């Protein structure tokens, strides 16, 4: 994750009668995160020769994906303030593939009804995802300024400033996913079955951020937790037999609700370049719980309600490094 935070304490207007000045700050993070899921190990593509799964819903594995995180906020003279933030993670793409000799098919019983979804020689599962989120927090800040003291203790001889921000506010996150099974046999058009899933999480958030600055260095750590309601949705593309051109199943979908959470933790080491600008590097983790994952929405049944349910209650976990810039004024 690349982080940019802007700090200019010396340029802030003085607060009469208070030890700390008012301070405005802005933060921009470029993030690089590895993702893991707990998708069900449901067979998506079967090898009819062995009767085993050639591709299951848990097989597509995500590489590192990039994104951006941005904040703007203010510490007021009365030790209260505010903060607005945005997080976006893009380009999360994964796939899994299998080859055979006209022995690959989707899971039954749907395969027995759609000729182009069986007797295939190659199969691929494509899986894509994006995350967007925003938050608004009120801050309660406490600050301690340690002046150097001439004594026998080295720690007392070095000046430093320690700050704690207690955060409370609102957080929203949107997880949008899509997945497609593609089967191909030489001499005939490829056949596809595609689904989409969306999870909107929204709820109250609390957190704490601690920071210590000394000489040209700083260390910052943040933990946040939001209890969220989750609005779930899924949609299914029409299932069409590529051999006959007939539509077996029309487009359809389903909706539901759940309770989930948004959890975040990060730590950064800061190198001050001057009174305003700094560079920083760190590590971050993000969890979304109670969400719906696209590979879990494939429905291979053949009854009239097929494709109208929704599977939720899943978790997305991301972790990675951060590198950036910051400023405060």
CA-based Rg of the chain, rounded to a whole angstrom?
26
What is each CA distance from 179 to 95, 198, 219, 323, in whole angstroms?
Answer: 9, 12, 41, 31
Residue 254 scores a pLDDT above 60: yes
pLDDT band at 73 (very low <50, low <70, confident <90, very high): very high
Output the pTM of the full model: 0.88
What is each CA distance from 42 to 38, 56, 143, 166, in whole angstroms?
Answer: 11, 5, 52, 43
From CA 80, how far away is CA 174, in angstroms rounded?
29
pLDDT value of residue 258: 95
pLDDT value of residue 189: 80
| 86-107 pLDDT per residue, tens | 999 998 999 999 999 999 999 9
Q: If you average pLDDT over residues 152-162, what whole number do you get?
A: 64
2-328 is classed CATH 1.20.58.1290:
no
Contact 175, 199 (CB under 8 A): yes
Tokens of 171: 């957080």
pLDDT value of residue 132: 97
DSSP-derived secondary structure for 242-275: TTT--EEE--EEEEEEEEEEEEEEEEEEEEE-SS
Q: Which residues contact 329 (CB under 8 A, 6 or more apart)?
A: 6, 7, 8, 9, 11, 12, 23, 24, 25, 276
From CA 21, how far away is CA 24, in angstroms rounded?
10
pLDDT value of residue 91: 85
Q: Which residues contact 257 (CB under 8 A, 6 or more apart)?
A: 229, 230, 231, 232
pLDDT value of residue 287: 96
Around 246, how many Cα atoms within 13 Å sit in the side-chain half-sphere? 5
Residue 142 scores a pLDDT above 80: yes
pLDDT value of residue 270: 93
pLDDT value of residue 20: 55
Mark out the alpha helices in 71-225 (DSSP H runs).
Answer: 110-113, 154-157
pLDDT band at 150 (very low <50, low <70, confident <90, very high): low
What is each CA distance from 257 to 57, 262, 290, 296, in whole angstroms?
Answer: 22, 16, 9, 16
Tokens of 127: 């899986």
pLDDT band at 9 (very low <50, low <70, confident <90, very high): very low
pLDDT band at 7 (very low <50, low <70, confident <90, very high): very low
Q: Among 15-24, 50-59, 188-197, 255-264, where is mean pLDDT lowest? A: 15-24
What are the residue ranges spanned by the domains of the chain? 2-328
Mean pLDDT of the chain: 89
């Amino acid at each position: 994750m690349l982080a940019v935070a802007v700090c200019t304490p010396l340029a802030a207007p003085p607060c009469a009668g208070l030890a700390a000045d008012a301070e405005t700050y802005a933060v921009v993070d470029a993030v690089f995160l590895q993702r893991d899921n707990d998708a069900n190990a449901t067979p998506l593509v079967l090898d009819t020769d062995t009767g085993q799964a050639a591709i299951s819903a848990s097989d597509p594995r995500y590489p590192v994906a990039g994104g951006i995180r941005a904040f703007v906020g203010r510490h007021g003279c009365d030790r209260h303030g505010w903060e607005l933030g945005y997080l976006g993670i893009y380009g999360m793409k994964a796939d899994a593939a299998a080859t055979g000799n006209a022995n690959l098919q989707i899971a039954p019983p749907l395969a027995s009804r759609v000729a182009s979804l069986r007797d295939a020689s190659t199969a691929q599962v494509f899986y894509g995802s994006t995350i967007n989120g925003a938050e608004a927090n009120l801050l309660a800040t406490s600050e301690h300024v340690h002046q150097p003291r001439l004594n026998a203790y080295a720690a007392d001889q070095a000046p430093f400033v320690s700050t704690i921000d207690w955060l409370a506010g609102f957080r929203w996150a949107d997880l949008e996913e899509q997945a497609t099974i593609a089967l191909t046999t030489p001499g005939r058009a490829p056949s596809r079955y595609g689904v989409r899933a969306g999870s909107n999480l929204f709820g109250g958030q609390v957190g704490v951020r601690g920071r210590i600055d000394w000489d040209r260095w700083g260390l910052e750590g943040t933990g946040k937790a939001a209890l969220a309601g989750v609005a779930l949705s899924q949609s299914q593309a029409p299932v069409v037999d590529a051999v006959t051109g007939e539509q077996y199943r029309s487009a359809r979908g389903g909706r539901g609700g759940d309770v989930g959470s948004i959890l975040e933790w990060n730590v950064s080491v800061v190198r001050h370049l001057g009174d305003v600008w700094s560079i920083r590097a760190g590590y971050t983790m993000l969890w979304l719980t109670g969400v719906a994952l696209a590979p879990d929405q494939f429905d291979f049944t053949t009854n009239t309600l097929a494709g109208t349910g929704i599977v939720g209650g899943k978790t997305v976990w991301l972790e990675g490094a951060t590198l950036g810039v910051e400023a405060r004024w």
